[in-house]
């Protein structure tokens, strides 16, 4: 199979769909890897790294879209890229179609087959191609929180870990899922005093076992959460209600009562954010202040550490990319029910129920299409 990997063109996106190692794995299995010139530069991979792995460097995205059987990317195809997709071509990337009617329309019109990273599942009910990015964003959150707490960066001048004789910073993590757990681990590692809130008793039990007292684990009620948020130096928002906008768990009035120079890191901003005063920012201008409280609300945090994120994403996607290339998408989906969950669009039909329901399309089950 000819596997095409174009340069990402969404603003501020430095990741790349395939690392040289991933391209090499595909080549070793008898496939061709067509990588756009300069596609890996943002993540620190040169064209020579790809040619050494056996990939072909192609000058333009147009040539890649015209010749590849499968396109492997990171972000959803942009309008210009969607025009180049064609019938019979397989697209494997993040799509997030439910809130994106224009993209869905264009993918249906192209006749391509689109498998979305974010809806592929695993045995434990998780989302294995989303989890690595949640791990990255979670681990990054205390790091940006600590930086933002510094005086010159707008913070109140608190060192996360304190020093002997001086109390450490207080970090509150709201939501103890993938993002929250990794955020709490990093904050504990920095020496902060950490409290994690969640609403799932089962999850609270797991967190209690995991942290063994190194982080406080509390059930999230309005009163207890407020008490801790008002006393925090940094609050990390990491909640998720699948398929819904993030609940606003900290209100404007509460933020007004927080200490000046304390920090809110709203990782859940890609679902609308869990602080009432949050709006999405970019890596170019990541923070702003409301009531003297610094807000960091970057919607694509993993893009800020593009090299680590690219490796993490490829570790998770590569086994599926190889299955798709070896067997073709129909057989690969027949053999792997979790990969089949990734099928969102085929031949002008919507194959993912939540997307069909959200956008008013008729739903065609994956089984009926393969
Ligand atoms: N900004 C970024 O770059 C970025 C990157 C990755 C993930 N995210 C986002 O981070 C959020 C968290 O993702 P995740 O992978 O950790 O999800 P997850 O499902 O693993 O965890 C979410 C947790 O929130 C808890 N929760 C739900 N409602 C709550 C409430 N009212 N109070 C306290 N806890 C509550 C759930 O019980 C669950 O444990 C999502 O919105 C995700 O899209 C953002």
Instruction: Say yes or no to pLDDT of 84 above 80.
Output: yes
End-to-end Cα separation, the chain, in angstroms:
19
Best CA proximity match to 317, nearest among 157, 93, 124, 137 = 93
Cβ–ligand 1 contact at 175 (below 6 Å): yes
Chain-centroid distance of CA 350 in Å reads: 23
Instruction: Say yes or no to pLDDT of 125 above 90.
Output: no
Best CA proximity match to 70, nearest among 92, 38, 93 = 92
Dihedral sign computed on CA atoms, order 22, 28, 33, 37: positive
Q: Residue 286 corresponds to which tokens in the numbers above?
A: 């990541």
Instruction: Say yes or no to pLDDT of 209 above 70.
Output: yes
Cβ–ligand 1 contact at 267 (below 6 Å): yes
Q: pLDDT tens digits for 140-183?
A: 999 999 999 999 999 999 999 999 999 999 999 999 999 999 99
Lowest-confidence region among 107-111, 163-167, 184-188, 357-361 = 357-361
Distance 187 CA to ligand 1 centre (A): 17
Q: Residue 63 corresponds to which tokens in the numbers above?
A: 């040539």
Q: pLDDT tens digits for 239-282?
A: 998 767 789 999 999 999 999 999 999 999 988 899 999 999 99
In a 10 Å sphere around its CB, with 0-12 CB exposed, 13-18 middle and 19+ buried, how is residue 38 labelled?
Answer: middle
Full-model pTM: 0.93
- Rounded to the nearest integer, the mean pLDDT of the chain is 96
Cβ–ligand 1 contact at 247 (below 6 Å): yes
Ligand 1 atom 38, closest CA: 177
Q: Enumerate the active-site residues.
A: 96, 270
Which secondary-structure segment (H or E) carries 287?
strand 287-290
């Amino acid at each position: 199979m000819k596997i095409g990997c174009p340069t990402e063109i969404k603003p501020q996106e430095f990741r790349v769909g395939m690392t040289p190692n991933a391209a090499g794995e595909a080549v070793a299995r008898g496939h061709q890897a067509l990588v756009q010139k300069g596609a890996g530069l943002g993540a620190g991979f040169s064209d020579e790294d790809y040619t050494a792995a056996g990939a072909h460097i192609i000058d333009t995205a147009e040539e890649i879209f015209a010749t590849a059987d499968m396109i492997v990317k990171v972000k959803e195809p942009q309008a210009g890229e969607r025009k180049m997709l064609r019938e019979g071509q397989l697209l494997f990337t993040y799509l997030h179609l439910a809130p994106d009617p224009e993209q869905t329309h264009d993918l249906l019109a192209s006749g391509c087959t689109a498998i979305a990273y974010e809806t592929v599942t695993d045995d434990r009910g998780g989302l294995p191609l989303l989890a690595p990015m949640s791990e990255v964003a979670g681990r990054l959150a205390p790091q940006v929180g600590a930086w933002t707490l510094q005086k010159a960066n707008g913070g109140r001048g608190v060192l996360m870990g304190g020093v002997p004789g001086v109390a450490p910073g207080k970090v509150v993590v709201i939501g103890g899922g993938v993002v929250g757990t990794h955020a709490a681990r990093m904050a504990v590692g920095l020496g902060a005093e950490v409290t994690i809130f969640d609403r799932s008793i089962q999850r609270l039990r797991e967190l209690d076992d995991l942290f063994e007292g190194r982080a406080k684990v509390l059930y999230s009620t309005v009163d207890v959460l407020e008490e801790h948020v008002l006393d925090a130096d940094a609050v990390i928002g990491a909640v998720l209600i699948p398929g819904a906008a993030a609940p606003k768990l900290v209100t404007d009035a509460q933020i007004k009562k927080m200490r000046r120079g304390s920090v809110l890191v709203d990782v859940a901003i890609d679902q609308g954010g869990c602080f009432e005063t949050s709006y999405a920012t970019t890596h170019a201008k990541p923070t702003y202040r409301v009531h003297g409280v610094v807000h960091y609300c970057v919607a694509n945090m993993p893009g800020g550490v593009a090299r680590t994120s690219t490796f993490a994403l490829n570790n998770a996607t590569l086994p599926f990319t190889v299955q798709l290339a070896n067997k073709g998408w129909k057989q690969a989906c027949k053999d792997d029910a979790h990969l089949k969950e990734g099928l969102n669009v085929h031949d002008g039909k919507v194959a993912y129920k939540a997307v069909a329901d959200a956008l008013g399309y008729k739903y065609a089950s994956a089984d009926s299409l393969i």
